[in-house]
Structure 1
Amino acid sequence: MSFWELLKIEFKKVKHGKIVPLIFVAPLLVVVSGVVNLQSYFTPEYTNAWAAMFIQSALVYAYYLLPLSMIVVCVMIAGRETQNNGILKMLALPVSRYTLSAAKFCVLLFYLFMEMIVFLIMFVIAGFIATNTAGITEALPIMYLLKWCAGLFLTMLPSVAAMWAITVLFEKPLLSVGLNLLLVIPGVLVANTPLWIVYPYCYSGYLVSCSLHDFTTESVSGAFELFPFLPCAALIFALVLMVAVTQFGKKEMR
């Protein structure tokens, strides 16, 4: 069985689940609350309205709601195999358990990507309503929004890999959810220390915090620096993903 065939099977498993409605919840909450909170301050002369709305919406989203939604998605994907000993049936197929874990992780990344698309679409709709209501004629900064949404997606990859590794290591959903929650909660605190570079759960939030810094100081160079972040994030991503891939189904194979 090829990887692509296995990937199709994994998508069929989650097709009729409740993951799709779930990825609408967090974007809807943060976009509506973020835009509504700023809308009362808008005047026709207001400048950089789109950037202000994005930062207002994305701060809580990046630090908490996006990671929390991904934790639930991890558990829901893993839960498809724990029901009715499904993992044993899958491991009996002529396919490596490493490949199976990698396919599930790809499904997880697909839903992360879909949630970012939903967030962007909802934000644009809410932003148009807010700016038109306030009489603001500022053009939609589509490249600005695409840049930061792509940044959110990429900076979430190490933490999503860590979430998946924890979900694989701890079979009981309560344990995996609880541990991941404990790691998400202090993210905003760690982001304000030099340790943020080795704490993947705060990467996306730190990125938005940097966009806030650029917005308030009108910085040209930008507060977010790729080095040493990029090699450190890539190393963490590779290590935790290796743990997830190698440990998946290991207990059942004994």
Structure 2
Amino acid sequence: MNMLTLIGVEFKKIKRSKILLILFLAMLVVWFPALLNADMNFGMENGITPEHNFFIQGLMALVWFIYPASMVVVTLLINQNEKTNQALTKMLSLPIDSKRMSLAKFFVLLVLAAIQLLFTIGIYYVAAYLMTAMTDYNFVLGLLLVFKEIGLIYLISLPMLAFYWFLSVVVQTPIFAIGIGLATIVPSVLMINSEYWYIYPFCYPYYMVVSEYGNLAPGFGTFNISLFPWIPIACVMMVGFLVLASVCFGQKERK
């Protein structure tokens, strides 16, 4: 069975799941509560404009907790599909490479992450238009800026997603896997203030958004991003997590 066929099979497995609904509802939680506090975007002492403050504050809520927490849950849901009626054991009895199966599932995770971030863009614009109508001030930012920020969040979150997939493979008890995954989120606030932030992939999206906030708010302070050694370390971690996940995938069932 080739890789494309495996990926197609994996998408069919989640076709009737509630994953997309979960991802959509999570994005509503990010943007719509801000409508209740619209006035807080005006008169910011750090000099950021109201429309940029609304957007960046929403992204901070997204990348610090909602997005990584959603991915923790989604990885478990993808993997738990195979636990029902010993589905994984039956699959491994076929002439299928378990490493390819693991990578196919990770590809599904990447697509779901992209879909959630596309939900973010759509719901942001709905919320921004509503905010504009409520305050008579234009909160709507250009598509290029919004897509650039969301695209960067997606790209730099890949090592984090690789770890969450690895975690779902090696930790067999779902509650423990979710607990460990959620526990990785909290230290992000501390790690972005460390000079060694690049060794902690869970803080990458948050660090980038905070850095962008500093660029837009003169009184906020700056968070410099140096591509070296960040990018090489991030790539090594991502590949390492995927290799380990591929090696460990289905080991218990094969025994």
**TM-score when scaled to structure 2?**
0.92
Aligned: 1:50 with 2:68 = no
Q: Secondary structure at the match of 1:217?
A: coil
Deviation at 1:211, TM superposition (A): 1.0
CA RMSD of aligned residues (A): 2.1
- Counterpart amino acid of residue 11 in structure 2: F
- Matches of 1:217 and 1:178 in 2, distance apart? 38
Shift of 1:234: 1.0
1:217 — aligned with what? 218
Deviation at 1:40, TM superposition (A): 5.2
Determine if contact 2:82/2:88 at 8 Å carries over to the other structure: yes
Amino acid at match of 2:227: L
Deviation at 1:137, TM superposition (A): 4.2
What pairs with 1:49-198 in structure 2 (closer than 5 Å)?
Answer: 49-137=50-138, 140-198=141-199
CA contact (8 A) 1:71 1:180 kept: yes
Question: How far did residue 236 of structure 1 move?
Answer: 0.9
Whether the 8 Å contact between 2:125 and 2:140 is mirrored in structure 1 is no
- Structure 1 CA distance, aligned partners of 2:151 and 2:223? 16
Partner of 1:16: 16
How far apart are 1:121 and its partner, in Å?
0.5
> C-alpha deviations, 1:47-100, integer Å up to 9, x for none?
843321111111121011100010000000000001111110111122100000
Q: Which residue does the alignment assign to 1:32?
A: 32
1:7-62 deviation digits (Å, cap 9, x = unpaired): 1110000010010101012211111123443345459xx98433211111111210
Deviations 1:148-194 (A, max 9, x none): 10011112111111011011001110111111111112111112112
Number of residue pairs matched by the alignment: 251
Q: Go from structure 1 to structure 2 and tell me whether the alpha carbon gap of 1:133 and 1:42 turns closer, same or farther (over 3 Å shift).
A: farther
Moved more, 181-190 or 134-143: 134-143
Task: Indicate conservation of the 8 Å contact 1:39/1:130, yes or no.
Answer: no
Amino acid aligned to 1:248: F
Separation in structure 2 between the aligned mates of residue 36 and residue 56 of structure 1, nearest angstrom: 14
Matched residue of 1:16: which SS? Answer: coil
Give the distance between the partners of 2:143 and 2:110, measured in 1 at CA: 23
For 1:181 and 1:64, the matched residues in 2 are separated by 9
More helix by share: 1
Amino acid at match of 1:7: I
Report the Cα offset of residue 222 of structure 1. Answer: 7.8
Q: Residue in 2 aligned with 1:246?
A: 247
| Structure 1 contact 214–223 (Cα < 8 Å) conserved | no
Give yes or no for contact 2:132–2:140 (8 Å, CA) kept in 1: no
Q: Secondary structure at the match of 1:4?
A: helix
Partner amino acid for 1:180? G
- Once the two structures are aligned, what percentage of the paired residues are identical? 29
CA separation of 1:140 and 1:187: change in aligned 2, threshold 3 A: closer
Residue 238 of structure 1: CA displacement?
Answer: 0.8
Alignment check: 8 A CA contact 1:70 1:112 kept = yes
Normalised by the size of structure 1, how large is the TM-score?
0.92
**Structure 1 SS opposite 2:184:** helix
Structure 1 unaligned segments of length 5 or more: list them.
none
